[in-house]
Structure 1
Amino acid sequence: MDLVHKVLNILLPPISTILLLCFFPLYLVFKFLYYIKRHIFSENVSGKVVLITGAASGIGEQISYEYAKRGACLVLVDIKEDRLGAVVEKARNLGSPDVIAVGADVSKVEDSERFVRAAVDHFGRLDHLVNNAGIGVSGQLKDMKNLLPRRVMDVNFWGTIYSTHFALPHLTKSKGKIIVIASTLGWYPAPKLGFYVASKAAVINFYESLRSEIGGDVGITIVTPGLIKSEMSDNLAKKVIDNPIICA
């Protein structure tokens, strides 16, 4: 057995290097062609109905503007309803033909049902669901003396599940798409962010499973951004203690 190990230790490194040199160029070519294909044949979203949660700030706000520039009709959802007005106005100025705002808490089943119904009642259809709403909390397990960790899972995980549940029949009908904003931390854990990391890992794995369930009826895109300058990241960087739960 020792002899086998010695032989493998000698042979495996050069074999692995040779295989890498052979296949890595092909991988790069494939990625390049895929990149070209995506940009040439990108979906025309003009006139399509897009529902975006967590749209009042951060990533959700910027996603709203990108869809608006491409002529999509928007349903903007956020618990901070008072901040949606400015986003609605800017989205219209950027080219969205119609925008409605709905104040809602994605962690509540009845709210999720309500904003999906509002989208379909107003526009008659739903093409894209962007599950972006999320919150973050920093701290060690030993310091957690309240229900903040539960709130993180309720918003980040269950908040996406509820909206997807109610939107899925309409997305199936329109052959639409689900876009879910997770995080690289779902793959690479970080200290003092365990509850946030756990919620994003749950999101990634759930939607990977859902993709296999629904097949090609509805497209699913799982986005795992790194550190993004936003309200959440700024507050986490400042190590907010008095109010440790931060809206994404």
Structure 2
Amino acid sequence: MAEKKNMSTVVGVRFTDAQYAPHEEAIAKSGLKPARYFRDLVLSRSPTFEESGFDKKRMLNAFEKAGHALNRVAHLANSAPYKGALYQTKYLHWLSRLTSIQLLLHTVLPTTDPPIKARAAHNGNRGSPGELSNKIHAIYFRLTQDELAQFDHLIKRTRCTASAFFRALIVNNKPVFKEFTGFKKRIVFIVNKAGNNITQLAYIGSAAFDRAIIAGEVKAKWLDVLVSIEALLLAGIEYAD
């Protein structure tokens, strides 16, 4: 019985000039065609996955609670009639609730500054960035089924396209990937919904002041807390990235 042939698969990767330029000299020195050069480079790389010490489960739980609590305050404030002293009492209670939400978010995000992102690697061109054109280099190379199988489970873990995965392998000397968990998608949903509630609550604070129901300093505190909550929520997206 004839042995089963190990068929090959064509892999296509597109590079910008900035991504392709650092490899031009190495390709020339190797004497290989670009397709063979990049194929060998891909097979030589050992991708790893990021291991973050950041407690994403704890953060998501806090964001879920904060989102629900913010929605509740917005609902109560929207449905309450403006009735003098009674409204003042309720308003101060809502302000206390908002402060609690702010503190809850602070327990998982002690700062509103987003994480420092790694600087992009230099593209190897010491001249002006404008010297590089927008030309796209399309490279196609073949991987056997066995060779491709080495990367299949990694590509599935990242949820990115095969082309994007192999481009990252080529562009980065020590490629580090982030595993797709759905975490960021949920955080973005919570932040978007919370943003609508924050907008409503900011309007409510201004309206209460315009009706002379609350003092200026109370309105200022109300808006300051909302701004802080919004900043913390947005910082959460950066941490989730």
TM-score, normalised with respect to structure 2: 0.24
TM-score, normalised with respect to structure 1: 0.23
Choose 1 or 2 for highest CA Rg. Answer: 2
Higher strand share: 1
Higher helix share: 2
